[in-house]
Amino acid sequence: MARRNKIYEGKAKILYEGPEPGTLVQYFKDDATAFNAAKKDVIEGKGVLNNRLSEFFMTGLNNIGVPTHFIKRLNMREQLVRACEIIPLEVIVRNYAAGSLSTRLGIEEGTPLPRPIVEYCYKDDKLGDPLVSEEHIAAFGWASQQDMDDIVSLALRVNDFMSGVMMAVGIRLVDFKIEIGRVYEGDFQRLVVADEISPDSCRLWDLKTGQKLDKDVFRRDLGSLTDAYTEVARRLGIMPEHGQGGAKPTLIN
């Protein structure tokens, strides 16, 4: 079958040319990587789950007026998105200490932070996505001061939305990463939340037990990643218990 033109292949997703100008098809692979791809595996069903979960979060954000690149889900592994120019930053928001913040500053994982902390990493796999400051971002022209104001505002709105949605199903949003894209509308540009929002890019802990329901299950060998993601999807009412796309994801394309 003739396949669409591939625009870009990343570690967990592929972007294909979309059906209309200004659109792309985002395909979710089953590949899981950690530690800048030093650890790799194929986790059957992960792409299906992340496609559904990212659809759920991005739709919610669109509905409350936080602009995202998401247009619609096309099938089990693909979604239609707006083409955008990705700002080369990973924008991280943290509510509780964990991961690299805990290591860097010696703060015990799970310690509540005095307020949400926004951090930036420069997206460059060869360099291992190093932490950078607003000074670097301004000096190297990755984003303007106006962009930075908009990015912080988007990141904090995503944090409030995601924290509330997860809290409602008994899950703590510890931290997350988003990517921001520029879309051009005539002479104007606007910033949108792009890439994906899924348990690959968030830390999600069960409120009562502290059980990890995110990619740390893979990073730290804590059990079945699909069981963890399926649990998140089940609590959010995304995966019906029975039938197509049920608790065990149906692996059709």
* CA geometry: angle 196, 197, 202, nearest 5 deg: 130
177 binds ligand TMP (CB under 6 A): yes
- Residues found near ligand ASP in the complex (CB under 6 A): 11, 33-37, 215, 219
Nearer to ligand ASP, 148 or 203 (CB): 203
147's enclosing H/E stretch is helix 145-168
> To the nearest whole angstrom, how small is the minimum distance from the Cβ of residue 49 to ligand ASP?
16
Least distance in angstroms from the C-beta of 235 to ligand ASP: 22
Q: How far is the CB of 214 from ligand ASP (least distance, A)?
A: 10
Round to the nearest angstrom and report the end-to-end CA distance of the chain.
13
The Cβ of residue 202 has, within 10 Å, a number of other Cβ atoms equal to: 23
33 touches, from ligand ASP, ligand TMP, none (C-beta below 5 to 8 Å by class): ligand ASP
Residue whose structure tokens are 């910033």: 191
3-state secondary structure of 49: helix
Three-class secondary structure of residue 210 per DSSP: coil
- Which of residues 12, 53, 92, 191 is near ligand TMP by CB under 6 A? 92
In the complex, least distance from residue 86 CB atom to ligand TMP, rounded to whole angstroms: 14
Q: Which is nearer to ligand TMP, 17 or 31 (CB)?
A: 31
For 153, half-sphere exposure in the C-beta direction (CA atoms, 13 angstrom radius) is 11
* Nearest by Cα to 91 from 165, 164, 195: 195
Q: Which of residues 125-154 bind ligand TMP (CB under 6 A)?
A: 129
What does the block give as tokens for 239?
Answer: 């995966």
Q: Which is nearer to ligand TMP, 124 or 227 (CB)?
A: 124
Please choose which of ligand ASP, ligand TMP, none residue 34 contacts, taking the beta carbon within 5 to 8 angstroms, the exact cut-off set by kind: ligand ASP
